[in-house]
Amino acid sequence: MNHIPIIEIEEVHKTYGSLKAVDGVSFKVYRGDIFGFLGPNGAGKSTTIRMMLSLVKPTSGSIRLFGLDMSKSRKEIMSRVGAIVEKPDLYGYLSAYHNVRILSALSGFKATKEQIMEVLELVGIANRAHDKVKTFSHGMKQRVGI
């Protein structure tokens, strides 16, 4: 087992004025771990995830993904990460295939038909590749977004 954490959060804080949204969160996740991030509403789970995705800047603390410091290697880290924080915004009238084609182009990667079908297979929806996304369950839409 690799002993370098895939995710390493150290004493991360996030404040909005006088509101402490995240107050000193620390944890490590290693390759192969199954990790649950649980807590009541308002505990800072989504804010922490947003900080891990570089959507929100921490007030203090450090975030390392894949052994790299987020504050110094954001572009490299984000090129290896796929995430959906809430629900994906997809084109419901288009197929899963066409949504992935558009999303890949927007990210600067021109995916081939084979690559698109490979990722749809990977997330378990290749058999619905040409169906309109508006007919998909919430979970299926999340898989298209990832």
Give the model confidence (pLDDT) of 46-57 as tens digits: 899 999 998 899
d(CA 12, CA 7): 13
* pTM of structure: 0.66
Instruction: Compute the CA torsion angle 105, 107, 111, 117 (nearest 10 deg).
Output: -100
| CB of 14 closer than 8 Å to CB of 58 | yes
- DSSP codes of every residue in 23-49: EEEEEEE-TT--------TTSSHHHHH
| CB of 63 closer than 8 Å to CB of 12 | yes
Q: How do residues 101-133 score in pLDDT, each as one tens digit?
A: 998 888 778 889 999 999 999 999 999 999 999
